[in-house]
Amino acid sequence: MMSLRYALLTALADGHPRSGYDLLAYFDGSIGFVWHATHPQIYRELDGLRRDGLVSNELVVQTGRPNKKVYSITEQGTHALLTWVATASPLQMMKDGMLLRTFSYGRLDSELAVARLADYRALHEERMVRYRELTNLVEASPDRPSRLGYLLVLRAGILHQEAYLRWCDEAVAAIRARPRAARRSPGRKARPAARRRTARR
């Protein structure tokens, strides 16, 4: 779907020229929340965007620090971005390592599962604090065209972190409420006495 190009165009849409390095940092504080990218990806995609005429670049010679290439969105780029923004978005297939693990939490020792959930909760809480801080900053800033979108994205982030926190609490309660028979120790077989054959034979 080539969304990375649109992520980069989004970052350049305010008309402010940015280098690949700038974009990497910029991603970290806003667009990266909904579309993460690493530096090799960004440098390569910027090259592709330039080839396609959606951005232009200029070499900025610096003394005392490395030279840099700053990229600006072109009129063609702005048009391509707005056309894409107006299209319908398909439902995203989510990939979440924690939830994948959760599938097997019924086979894991209760206390271990609870501890992992606590770690996970802490990560999401941190993230929520950050989103709230950013929201305050943006709300206090002047109303540029990008402000509404940014605030909406932050709000989505906060609502999702709330969902995660609530889920962690419910999951801990559900695991604690299990009958004792269902709990297993880690690294051990379920019932070594009554050994079961696997389907391989």
Of 1-40, binders to a second copy (CB under 8 A) are: 1, 3, 6-7, 10, 13, 15-17, 30-36
Residue among 112, 116, 110 at smallest CA distance from 175: 110
- Do the Cβ atoms of 18 and 70 come closer than 8 Å? yes
Nearer of residues 68 and 130 to DNA, judged by Cβ: 68
* Residues of span 89-108 touching DNA by CB under 7 A: 93, 95
Shortest distance (Å) from residue 51 CB to DNA: 12
Nearer of residues 65 and 188 to a second copy, judged by Cβ: 188
* Residues of span 141-180 touching a second copy by CB under 8 A: 143, 145-153, 155-156, 159-160, 162-164, 166-167, 170-171, 174-175, 178
Question: Rule CB under 7 A: is residue 50 a binding residue for DNA?
Answer: no
**Tokens (6 digits) for 142:** 């002047």
Distances (CA, A) of 19 to 23, 43, 78, 82, 201: 6, 9, 18, 22, 60
* Exposure b/e, 171-190, CB count within 10 A at least 16 = b: bbeebeeeeeeeebeeeeee
Summarize as ranges the residues that interact with DNA (CB under 7 A). Answer: 1-4, 19-22, 25, 36-41, 43-44, 46, 62, 64-70, 93, 95
